[in-house]
Structure 1
Amino acid sequence: MAKEKIAPGAKRGGTVSKVATWVIGGLLLVGLAGFGAGSFGGGGQRVATVEGQVIDADDLLLTADAIRRNAARQGRPLPFAQVQSIALGSLVTDAALDAEALRLGLSAGDERVARAITDDPRFRPLLSFDRSIYREFLESRRESESAYEERLRRQLARAQLEQAVIGGVEAPRGYLDIMTAFLLEGRDVRYAILRPDLLPAPIADPTEAELAEWYEANAEAFTIPAAPRIAYLWIAPEAVAADAEIDEARLRALYDERAEEFRRPERRLVERLVFADEAAARAVLGRIATGASDFDAEVAAAGLAPEDVDLGDVTFEGLGGAAEAVFARTEPGLTRVVPTEDGPAIFRVNALLNAVEIPFEDVREELTLELGLAGARRVIDDLEDEVDDLLAGGATVEDVAAEIGPAVSGTLFAGPDGDDPLLGYDTFREAARAATEDDFPEAVRTDDGGLFALRLDGMREARAPALDEVRGEVLATWRREAETDALMALAEALRDDFAAGEAPLDTIEEDALVRVAGLDGAPPALARAIFETPEGGTATVRLPGAAALVHVDQVTPADPDDPATRELRAALVAENPRGYPGDVFAAYARALQARMDVTVDQAMLNAIAAQYGN
């Protein structure tokens, strides 16, 4: 029996800092956010209102879709009725918090929204904001810039409300003790993954009758949802910009204007701890050098928080007389005691950031597009009247697209499964769901300066496709399920041998595995089985396309004197918006809903369930 031995405290055992980081980042997170907006074939149908805050069918559908997809990825498919209920609860909670924030006058201004976007690390690949990456992010979400910024504005206002409610809340000692003991309970476990290559023979193909019977029982998973069929013409700003001739001098001027983005000096990520005198600073440096203390402990001993000593990323010029000592380091670490205008100080260098020098030629294309897009708006402004005149004269959207150079035409289905980029525009999506067959097409502008006109060409009814239409997908799904069934049967047959350590399987051993560190890359079902199986127990686990055997050799209670226990407890105390305070905020949100005017359109919910839940 082959074994992969993972030493305690190694990759999956986790370090003390990983323990705290994992708890702060994931386990105790209170998720109260919605998932966006989508398309349900009518004009802005409301499914609920909360103190004037509207939740429409499209909000519900795309939230439900995100929940259903997430459940499916975890191997826990949910019926549509349950998904719809979870989605509605999430959206009602958000709407109640939005209404309360509005009542209290809490809001995030334009400057704060802009700062949140430009500071978002997803849009700062080179430590400066990259608008092209921001645009790609919005396109991938099928969301306009204004819609995203409005949603972010509401999130920031809710964050203000959360901080106001739980800013002074501290968890009781009993809560912290229970959580720490639970999260750091150690488990020595063995597990093995059974994959299809372990089956004694390949799964035989099903007969036609077997496949048809299975498909009939699982038709919901393959149902094509209802959707309006939309014919459109579209003038994209990028298409107009591509034909623009941009003067070299203008490109160079824009490059110079954005010099801070393209040319940045060498920097360091630095923290600074200042002392009353040099003797005190040297004493601390000596304790750190001998291992008797560390920088973080000394910061805490001085009564300071991490943000009190964090200088962020600084340049040589920004450090004054301390620059030589800080920039002399060739790797992260501490400096000697350095005199500063605030007193003797020790600097901790956390990262060395090289100078950024992006040549003009490397960003020529980006700058050309930026200037081109600015000119494209003016061109499309001029085309708007021409498009309206042609449509008013009886031309179809296809005729107009053929007449006007940069325009294109096409058709799409504007249902919840639609993935056409045009559905990412709020104005297009709303016009598509509001369109009737009696409407005349007219030119409509998008937030980024584009222009479209559309026509409803009927509805696609929800339907389960004929087996022959989806035979390949159905057969692949059937085979995966059949293989999983066979692997689960094999796992059951090997259960006793595995418990005795005699099963002929490649087995992985984990010592002192704790909940807070988790199991890197493990499917959720496997992780649950590891932490739910009692000492001495053996469990079989159904996984997507596989099975697993788990045996728990030993369960060890958390050691209250272990440094990891103390650090985790400190993290639970310090991470105020999480854990117990988060539970307090969740209770506050429920209380808000209880006293607010919440109206739910059950008929609309039933209609959605009938259209998408079958």
Structure 2
Amino acid sequence: MLDSLRRGAQTLVAKILLGLLVASFAIWGIAGQSTGLGGNTVAEVGDTPISATDFQRDYTQEMRNLTRQLGQPLTYEQAASFGLPQRVLGRLLSEAALSDQAASLGIAISDERLAAEIAADPSLQNNGTFNLGYFEQLLRSNGLTQQQYVADRRTLEIRRQVADGLFGGVKPPVALIEAVSAYRNETRDVEYVSITRQSVDPIEPPDEATLTSFFDARKADFRAPEYRALTLLALNAAAIADPAAVSADEVQAEYDRNAGRYGSPESRTIEQILYPSLEEAQTAHAALATGSTFDSLLAERGVSPADASLGTLTRDRVLDPAIAEAAFALPAGGISEPVAARFGGAIVRVSAVNAASLRPLAEVEAEIRQDIALNAAQRVVLDTHDEIEDALAGGATLTEVAGRFNLTPTSVAAIDAEGRDEAGQPVAGLPEAPEFLGQAFETDVGVENPPVQIGRDGYVWYEVARVTPARDRTLDEVRDRVVAAWTEDEAARRMSAKAEEVMKALTEETDFAAVATRFELTPQVTPKFARGTQETPIGRDAQQSAFAGPEGYVAQAAGPQGERIVLKVREVTPVPFFAEAQDSVEAATGLATEFENSLLQQYVTHLQASLGVSVNETVLRTVIGTGGS
């Protein structure tokens, strides 16, 4: 959620700066250690400090992101082993270097411009309009104040000006674009055979000794994971909405105020004949009194019935108010007097009238009550959130809080870090928050945990009731799974062995079909494909292998369904280069991104070297949870 608050840099260079800039920088070794920094300062570039608070906030968010990607909780030690501290510090040092340079150049942004940028941020809008309530809820759920967010956004926009001014619009050489285009667009077709389990001898079940040996070597694959019993308490508008508390007067008022929502407004099927002027329309209309018809007037104007028809429209859908006024004053089959339309004169005919309809109040009363209750609940969710937090801080349990606020707690008997129960099935009814499971597996029994935000207006509190440690299962517990795994391994081994035999034969003779027939396989030919073709009959691995050599090249690879593919390149077809072609334009755009990224990295490295970088190792290790190491 914090990511959405930090969006707003819309240019290509700014996106590089935020997302790609020095993700792989190894900060240790390039930054000088310092003990002269303040106790709340992690690092400093020139005169620009990086506070421990800012680093902690970004580091926590990166840990949550990585937890979601891995699908399991992440300890501080694991995060450090993945290089997460270096990545976060690298980005913050890069941002600080640009901020310091911007300050020395006197670059700034006005309050008016900054407010416009924030208001235009799509991540803070609802139906295309800035939503202050949603904005405040995002800030609150991420522990930010408006002042903090505005300050962060101001420095972001200032850094963006530096990056855009220096590197926006960099263009790669045409020769490089041509080379990349040729690489992407070259096509090939191959002869191939698929070696499946049916292509090898039948596999008999393993004896006990073989199975035991296999299980002992792969015991970790069948290990029972850690399971946790959880108590959950969800709060959202739906959970606290009370339709029964909505009065009959409120229902009636809502019904009267939004009658159009509970029925269909009147509509009419409308035709029009347009004339250059009102006078010409009046002359044509006079002919109706002497035997002419609306259809004959259409014919005289050379207008087809289809072109004359506006369709069946409600009054608000008719673009010209004068036409609408005339049409909705006519009965079915009626023809209007000449109309002073926007662009001349007109004669209107209504061929059908569809009366307005309104569902009875009794039919929609339950729906109206629910909507009113939900709207009222949405206004008090945050207040209820605070009251629940106060109750928990006062020592109440989730079950006690649930009773006090008329909420229903949920018990999960056993769940692993991937969201599965002891039978290996997904646990139903979990909060729709990717970080929830990771946090639930980072805490412990008896620990009070902060709530996790769900959706735009909901929260879920959780307690760990019990922890069942991970353990090795016995062979008897997982015998069927072990037999299945051994059988799959044996099949893969036999398919690979046969693929090697086919490849060896293809190096000794050129007739692919003859070799395939000798091994009782069916030779096939692919359509032409490029490196980036999304789907081929041979699968992604074999597709890439097909580009590893010239015409006549032989290779084997995994197929899309677990089979082995043996292939031979039949024909290589280069594609002519046209700079204006769509793929060439895409190649140029991608290369420009890489150029800008590279130049920006070099520039930031130069700034850090010239301005000087200091890192407070003591504060840093405390923040990342490795203070003792």
Aligning the two structures, in what range does the TM-score lie when normalised by the shorter sequence?
0.5 to 0.7
Q: Aligned-pair RMSD on alpha carbons?
A: 6.0
TM-superposed deviation, 1:234: 3.4
1:588 aligns with 2:604: no
**AA partner of residue 407 (structure 2):** P
Q: Distance in 1 between matches of 2:385 and 2:124?
A: 34
Partner of 1:424: 433
What's the CA shift for 1:486?
Answer: 2.4
Query: Do the aligned partners of 1:191 and 1:508 also contact (CA within 8 Å) in 2?
Result: yes
Task: Give, in angstroms, the shift of residue 446 of structure 1.
Answer: 7.3
Q: Equivalent residue of 1:549, what SS?
A: strand
Local SS of the residue matching 1:424: coil
Question: Which runs of no fewer than 5 residues in structure 2 stay unpaired?
Answer: 1-14, 21-41, 45-49, 72-76, 103-107, 266-316, 321-342, 344-357, 420-426
Which one-letter code corresponds to 2:563 in the other structure? A
Q: Measure, in 1, the Cα distance between the counterparts of 2:564 and 2:404.
A: 60
Change (3 A) 1:371 1:228: same
Looking at CA atoms only, which structure, 1 or 2, has the larger radius of gyration?
2
**CA shift for structure 1 position 212:** 1.4
Match of 2:584 in 1: 569
Q: 1:182 is matched by which residue type in structure 2?
A: Y
More relative contact order, 1 or 2 (CA 8 Å, 6+ apart): 1
Q: 1:549 aligns with which of 566, 571, 574?
A: 566
- Select the residue among 241, 245, 250 that pairs with 2:254: 250
Percent identical residues: 18
SS in 2 for 1:592: helix
CA contact (8 A) 2:203 2:487 kept: no
Any conservation in 2 of the 1:230–1:454 contact (CA below 8 Å)?
yes
What is the CA distance between 1:521 and its match in structure 2?
A: 7.8
1:304 aligned residue: none
Shift of 1:169: 0.2
After superposition, give the CA deviation of every residue in 1:372-402 in whole Å (9 maximum; x if it has no partner): 3322245667866886787688653334435
Change (3 A) 1:379 1:568: closer
CA contact (8 A) 1:437 1:458 kept: no
Instruction: Show CA shifts across 1:409-434 (max 9, x none).
Output: 43588985358744728799879856
2:374 aligned with 1:373, yes or no? yes
Q: Name which of 552, 556, 560 aligns with 1:540.
A: 556
1:310-329 map, 5 Å: none
**One-letter code of the match for 2:556?**
T
Q: Structure 1 374/109 Cα, relative in aligned 2: closer, same or farther at 3 Å?
A: farther
What secondary structure, in the 3-state scheme, does the structure 1 residue paired with 2:399 have?
helix
Counterpart Cα distance in 2 of 1:31 and 1:545: 41
Q: Per-residue CA shift, 1:550-596, capped at 9, x if unaligned?
A: 21123244434xx59955334433x3xx2243243145247537836
Match of 1:492 in 2: 500
Matched, 1:501 2:513: yes
1:54 paired residue number: 55
Verify the 8 A CA contact 2:181 2:583 in the aligned structure 1.
yes
In 1, Cα distance between equivalents of 2:93 and 2:189: 45
Q: How far, CA to CA, are the matches of 1:461 and 1:189 in structure 2?
A: 52
Q: Deviations over 1:88-119 (max 9, x none)?
A: 77656655666567766787844222378668
CA distance in 1, matches of 2:486, 2:61: 33
Residue 539 of structure 1, CA deviation: 0.9
The residue correspondences of 1:162-311 to structure 2 (distance < 5 A) are 166-202=167-203, 204-205=205-206, 207=208, 208-216=211-219, 218=221, 224=225, 230-241=230-241, 243=243, 247=251, 250=254, 253=257
Gap change, CA 1:463 and 1:386, over 3 Å in 2: same
Distance 1:360 1:559, change over 3 A: farther
For 2:474 and 2:549, the matched residues in 1 are separated by 43
- Cα distance change on mapping 1:59 and 1:451 into 2, 3 Å: closer
Partner of 1:323: none
State the shift of 1:171 in Å: 0.4
User: Shift of residue 170 of structure 1?
Assistant: 0.3
| Deviation of the 1:182 alpha carbon | 1.6
The answer as to 2:549 corresponding to 1:513 is no
Give me the whole-angstrom Cα distance separating, in 2, the residues matched to 1:363 and 1:590: 65
Cα deviation for residue 477 of structure 1 reads 4.5
Instruction: Judge conservation of contact 2:186–2:572 (CA < 8 Å) in 1.
Output: yes
In structure 1, distance between residues paired with 2:563 and 2:493: 9
C-alpha distance in structure 2 between counterparts of 1:235 and 1:507, whole Å = 61
Q: Distance in 1 between matches of 2:593 and 2:500?
A: 43
The C-alpha deviation readout for 1:97-143, integer Å capped at 9, x for no partner, is 66567766787844222378668xxxxxxxx99x9xxx9xxxxxxx9
Partner AA of 1:213 in structure 2: D
Letter in 2 for 1:490: K
**1:579 is matched with which residue?**
591
Residues 519, 527 of structure 1: 8 Å contact kept: no
In the alignment of these two chains, the number of paired residues is 438
Counterparts of 2:452 and 2:528, CA distance in 1: 62
Output the amino acid matched with 2:499: A
Q: What is the correspondence of 1:126-145 to structure 2 with a 5 Å cutoff?
A: none
Residue 568 of structure 1: SS of its match in structure 2?
Answer: helix
TM-score by length of 2: 0.51
Cα deviation, residue 254, structure 1 = 6.2
For residues 99 and 442 of structure 1, the distance between their equivalents in structure 2, rounded to whole angstroms, comes to 31
